[in-house]
Structure 1
Amino acid sequence: MTSLASRAGITAVLGPTNTGKTHYAIERMLGYRTGVIGLPLRLLAREVYDRIVAIRGPSVVALVTGEERIVPPRTQYWVCTVEAMPEGMGPDFLAIDEIQLCADPERGHVFTDRLLRARGTHETLFLGSDTMRQTIAALVPGVQFMRRERMSHLSYAGSKKISRMPARSAIVGFSVENVYAVAELIRRQKGGAAVVMGALSPRTRNAQVALYQNGDVDYLVATDAIGMGLNLDINHVAFSSLSKFDGRRMRNLAPNELAQIAGRAGRGMSDGSFGVTGEAPPLDDEVAQAIMDHRFTPIRKLQWRNAALNFGSVAGLIGSLEQGPQDELLIRAREADDLMALKSLSESAEVQARTGTATAVKLLWDVCRVPDFRGISHAEHAGLLERIFGFLHEGGAIPDDWIARQIRRIDRDDGDIDALSKRLAYIRTWTYVAQRSGWTQDESHWRGETRAVEDRLSDALHARLTQRFVDRRTSVLLRRLKQKEALLAEVNDKGEVTVEGEFVGRLEGFRFRRDKDAQGQEAKTIHQASVQALVPHFHLRADRFYNAPDTEIDFTEQGGLMWGSDAVGRLAPGSDPLKPQVVAFVDDEAGPEVAQKVERRLQHFIDRKIAALFEPLLNLQRDETLSGMARGFAFRMIESFGILPRAEVADEVKSLDQEARGALRKHGLRFGQFTIFMPLILKPAPTRLRLVLWSLSKGLQEFPEAPPPGLVTVPVAAGSVDGYHAMAGYRAAGERAIRIDMLERLADMLRVEDSRKGFEAKADMLSITGMTLDQFADLMQGLGYRAEKDERAKVKPAPEAETAKESNTEAGEADGAAAADAQPAAVTGDADMAPPEAEAAPVADAQPAPEATPEPEASPEPVVVAAAETPVAEVVPEAEAAPGAPAQEASADEAAEMEVFYTFTWARQRPAGRPQQGGRKRPEGGQAPRGRQGGKGKPGGKPRGEGGKRDSGAKSFESRPPRKDKDRIDPDNPFAAALMGLRDKT
């Protein structure tokens, strides 16, 4: 080549891609004092410029493209796009890269012009494909040819799915939509991709390429821009389409065009491969083999446009541009955008008036060569060019305020990728205008201004592209996993996990929950990297959990086990209902040691919790002094978690002697009229755990929840499992369920009433249940009573009513199961020590309660209600009173009012064929409730007041002094009835 240079020779360096042609040209140019190299893309021009600056420094290297112009005062080497190459400089060296673009329908005429006219004084190089050999030989006399062979082997890999694309691959599309779709798919499946398109600014393109070259992503999605000399570390090239729009129509790519792009695989000495993906059909065997062998049809015709232009008039200029070639190897180029703009402006009367001189015609042509970067429409582009031409022709420069307004509208970095891409296309127009010498009043200012705006938009576009198409988290983790490096994980106090600084998910107890936004391959990568990095954290957390106090651990009503707000396990049925097993929630990656430690700690917790809350029941279970019937009854109590409806064990209760009962009472067991229970385990905490253990023993899928604590009655749970209300500490009666301890208090009051003749509800009865009169009537019917409703005239209450009302407020103090021990003054033991008729009281089921019992409200009625803000006896307006209702005389200043009353009588039917005894009906194997002797000698009766009402000052059951233990009588004693009768007489 030295000899060629000495003879001012012209050399065509031809060969396939990856032969080092461009690198060779740079070395040759730097061997001379001055040189010019023309490149097909401004992206490639920027790459070559950076390489030369790195060698010689920025003070002697110029970069000239349509939108960028860096020209130092002592420039020696010019790096340009082919269209922007300076003419008439006479450099020592001149090179044109990708010379095969002479055949390109859109830009080919520019390359053909440089092939025919551009020369260096000492050496000229044309770099390109072998397909240009014959044409160059025919058009350039004395040219020498140099063949360069590919440095690596290129093979065809066929069709592959994007999900199976190997790392360091480039997927090529030929439209923006296609590129974005492929990049989005790769982000979801592979963690992300860099995006390279010819429409990107050099700054955006370089930032995207850096993502790929640095290994942040392993995939590149690009247009055919990468086929023009961009040197990237690509192992595989896959075509997602085999056709493109060339500006006029859709056409299939020729084999040599496919080879130009496929050849980017396998840089340097590394072999590469190419293939297809997506909807692209497989390549024909002949085409694939031609690409591998670098054998293509020679280029026969080159695009040409006349360079000797006539500026005498606009018509003359158009005629010279449309002139045909003289050589048969050249064909006239199709009408380009600049010629179309010239023809459009030539029809404007204003332009015609301004183009009377050759200088004006030349200026008009320069304006028409402004590229249509915006790509909106020819008419709109022509209108912009006419405005610019008018400014330049009239004032010699574009006004600063006008160009400032155009730039200010574009200078915004908000919006999505499409919006930023449009603004970048718009600013490229003004960047091109600012680069033209003499078009603005302050060239350096506007060049800097447009460059700054383009840089801001470029950075914003790069950020949006990265945000949309690159998952940095996945790419970082993939790179670290591939390099087999130890990953560093951090867990903050909220459980948020970061690996290598990237958020990957949350650690909930001993289970890792990856970020919900991750899907597909990304999710797998995150999980793989995270669990590997979290292993040390699992061990540290297990140690902390094992030493945590029981106060930090709790169980849920669905049987879950919680450590703070994190689920760490669940309860499972065991061999004994009071000894459940635990199942720990621990990821397999944490290891068996962590799982065993968590399981042991949970088992310790639940065992201690049961021991504390069910201590009376466990003491009963461990009492070896119990024997015979007492031991059997204790087993029944343990099996039912300390609560048994009395009706279910009536025979067993009767079979217990006094010694057995006494032994059972020592453990806190209470033999109630309706329920046999342990008051201590009726408290909210044991009730909550009891329901969980009972649900486990029943094998329920959905565990019922405990009623809110402190409520005396609650609505009956519809569709509840049989036995639920008893386990919750309530008995169902009618539409509501009453707490079993409060039910026993109510039963104590009912024993003094005469159920044969009927009785009315007392204030104390309503107070302890927290019910209205109607609700109480429903409850009584649920317990086996019949309620008869009537209305009476309302009278002014006697002073004693106020006093009686105040004495009933103590019932509102019953809160939770603790009220089970707070019995009425007349009841000091359980129902076993009540009069014998108590054994025969009606038995019903128990269940929840609605609201805590508030203090009784003041009311003028003789019956006091102490609950639910509703009076016991509802007042019926006179207009609504039932016809024929009994009236009561009222004072002259009072209007007649009516009051509702219920009379309750025992409603159970005696069994068929059984004789009635004493006029009483026996319920369920016992005696009907019997009232005490009333104030007027009537059983259960009370003295009537003036208005026919019972005397509010009558002595109630609760007003009796408490019985002493020595006076208690065994209800099973055959002489109990006789003894009770004698006692009542005294």
Structure 2
Amino acid sequence: GNVDSLSNRIANVRTWSYVSNKVNWVENQDYWIKRTKLLEDKLSDRLHEELTKSFIDKRANILARRLKQDMTFNTEITEDENVIIDKQFIGKLKGLKLELDLNVGTLDTDIKSLKKAARLSIGPELNKRIKQIIDTGLLEIKNDFKIYWRKFPIAKLLPGKDYLDPELSLIIDDIVEVLEQKKLQEYLEKWINRKISFVLKSLIDLRSLKESNSSIRALAYQLYENNGVLKREKVSDYLKKLGQDERKILRNMGVKFGRYHVFLFKLLKPESVSLRILLWKNYHQKFYNLKPPTFGLNFLENKDFKNKNFMLLCGFENFDKYFVRIDILERLFVQIINSNEGKKTEIKLIPEMLNLLGCSKDNFLKLIQKMNYKTSEKNNEFYFKYVPVKQKVKKSINNVQKPDNPFNVLKNISFK
């Protein structure tokens, strides 16, 4: 029934509920108490639905009538982004997107009225916001690949032709005219390109390098393709062809030639690492669960970092279960050279080395062994010396003795 009919029925049921709760007024009292309670609950729920529908119908009728009469709507946007049209709450404005107050009881006619009223009332406000975005540029990009304004997303990154050239998709209401959307799209594309060009300048410069020397171009291309970090052993052929003059050109562009890596040292700053990882994940559309190490750490002991390429992108080199920041690795190598003034074969472990990495003595010794150094202890002091890979292999081969070796046979003979 309608609201009046349901209200009357609820009143009658409550009378019966009163009677059933009186002692000795009815037989089988417990049964009637449960029965009247269940009936009252059902009627109350139905009344709530009818009241909601009645309110929605009223809201729709008011909006529809005013739209037909081309009347001006009194629109208010509260501090918490609630949109009030003619004293009726119609939804929330989140950034450049209007979320209408649609619930299970909303009618199609109501939706149409809401949208039309919103277009007339909220359209100018959204255009105003677009102008504010363009004029101020107060934007930020977060790890969910979205560009935010006032804590609300207004665009999302999509893969482009290159991981440094992402595309953009606006998060904007269709209330906004196409011309305004295009204006915002162009501005955001310029904004993200400027940000990439500024934060990752040394990497962008490699892409636009114009150099006649083919070896310089080849190494620059390899660095660009590998996100600014290369293992030295993989580009040894390129390095052999570079003289000091050629290296100087690349050094002036921020390239550092280390013992283990060739890399752009400016890309190891926290902001640069974060942006590169974000763009890398966006381009590949995977690896979302991979997180960079906490900024400020130089040494990590972790078996769980399975993706070595990702860790290299973060600026960490892998030695079995240990990871060391590549610039710290180069500084460690300089310390080792400086501490070996007399060109001794063995180098003494000093506290400065532990402080540089931020690791324990035990972990340092295990790490240095993974880097092809042999460790030893003398008078409670620890020493290490470099053992080339070829030498280690040769030594291990020489130590392998065949069971039929004649000297082994002589060794096992017992003379009495």
TM superposition score category, shorter chain reference? 0.7 to 0.9
- Given the alignment of the two structures, is residue 631 of structure 1 paired with residue 217 of structure 2, yes or no? yes
Cα distance between partner residues in 2 of 1:546 and 1:912? 63
Q: Counterpart of 2:65? A: 483
Q: Deviations over 1:472-502 (max 9, x none)?
A: 7634432234436265543333322334433
Q: Counterpart of 2:169? A: 583
Q: Counterpart of 1:671? A: 257
Q: How does 1:384-399 map to 2 (within 5 A)?
A: none
**Structure 2: 5+ residue stretches without partners:** 27-35, 397-416
Q: How does 1:807-846 map to 2 (within 5 A)?
A: none
Contact kept, 8 Å, 2:53 with 2:105, in 1: the verdict is no
Report the residue type matching 1:540 in the other structure: K
Q: Deviations over 1:48-88 (max 9, x none)?
A: xxxxxxxxxxxxxxxxxxxxxxxxxxxxxxxxxxxxxxxxx
Cα distance between partner residues in 1 of 2:107 and 2:371? 61
Contact kept, 8 Å, 2:299 with 2:323, in 1: the verdict is yes
Cα distance between partner residues in 2 of 1:507 and 1:717? 46
Cα distance between partner residues in 1 of 2:17 and 2:268? 82
Q: Counterpart of 2:359? A: 771
Identity %: 20
Q: Deviations over 1:495-534 (max 9, x none)?
A: 223344333432222223345xx53342867754444313
Question: Could you tell me which of 272, 287, 292 is aligned with 1:706?
Answer: 292
Residues paired across the two proteins, number: 373
Give the deviation of 1:758 after TM superposition.
4.3
Q: Residue 581 of structure 1: SS of its match in structure 2?
A: strand
Q: How does 1:434-833 map to 2 (within 5 A)?
A: 469-470=51-52, 474-483=56-65, 485=67, 488-514=74-100, 519-522=103-106, 528-532=112-116, 533=118, 534-549=122-137, 552-700=138-286, 702=288, 704-716=290-302, 718-751=304-337, 753=340, 758-787=346-375
Contact kept, 8 Å, 1:555 with 1:562, in 2: the verdict is yes
Give the deviation of 1:633 after TM superposition.
1.3
Q: Deviations over 1:282-331 (max 9, x none)?
A: xxxxxxxxxxxxxxxxxxxxxxxxxxxxxxxxxxxxxxxxxxxxxxxxxx
Report the residue type matching 1:633 in the other structure: L
Distance 1:584 1:746, change over 3 A: same
Q: Deviations over 1:928-958 (max 9, x none)?
A: xxxxxxxxxxxxxxxxxxxxxxxxxxxxxxx
Distance 1:526 1:636, change over 3 A: farther
Give the deviation of 1:606 after TM superposition.
0.5
Distance 1:647 1:490, change over 3 A: farther
Contact kept, 8 Å, 2:158 with 2:169, in 1: the verdict is yes
Q: Deviations over 1:408-448 (max 9, x none)?
A: xxxxxxxxx979x89xxxxxxxxxxxxxxxxxxxxxxxxxx
Q: Counterpart of 1:376? A: 20
CA RMSD of aligned residues (A): 4.0
**Structure 1: 5+ residue stretches without partners:** 1-170, 173-192, 202-222, 224-244, 246-370, 383-416, 423-461, 793-898, 917-986
Distance 1:578 1:379, change over 3 A: closer
Contact kept, 8 Å, 2:328 with 2:356, in 1: the verdict is yes
Distance 1:909 1:675, change over 3 A: closer
Contact kept, 8 Å, 1:557 with 1:704, in 2: the verdict is no
Q: Counterpart of 1:198? A: 8
Contact kept, 8 Å, 1:731 with 1:740, in 2: the verdict is yes
Q: Residue 605 of structure 1: SS of its match in structure 2?
A: helix
Q: Residue 776 of structure 1: SS of its match in structure 2?
A: helix
Q: Residue 8 of structure 2: SS of its match in structure 1?
A: coil
Contact kept, 8 Å, 1:509 with 1:563, in 2: the verdict is yes
Cα distance between partner residues in 1 of 2:169 and 2:331? 42
Distance 1:744 1:719, change over 3 A: closer
Distance 1:379 1:559, change over 3 A: closer
Report the residue type matching 2:359 in the other structure: M
Question: Could you tell me which of 901, 904, 910 is aligned with 2:384?
Answer: 904
Cα distance between partner residues in 1 of 2:372 and 2:9? 89
Give the deviation of 1:703 after TM superposition.
6.4
Cα distance between partner residues in 2 of 1:527 and 1:911? 79
From the CA coordinates, give the structure whose radius of gyration is larger. 1
Using the size of structure 2 for normalisation, the TM-score is: 0.75
Contact kept, 8 Å, 1:733 with 1:780, in 2: the verdict is no
Cα distance between partner residues in 2 of 1:781 and 1:195? 87
Cα distance between partner residues in 1 of 2:78 and 2:343? 69
Give the deviation of 1:559 after TM superposition.
2.1
Q: Residue 221 of structure 2: SS of its match in structure 1?
A: helix
Contact kept, 8 Å, 2:126 with 2:176, in 1: the verdict is yes
Cα distance between partner residues in 1 of 2:107 and 2:302? 48
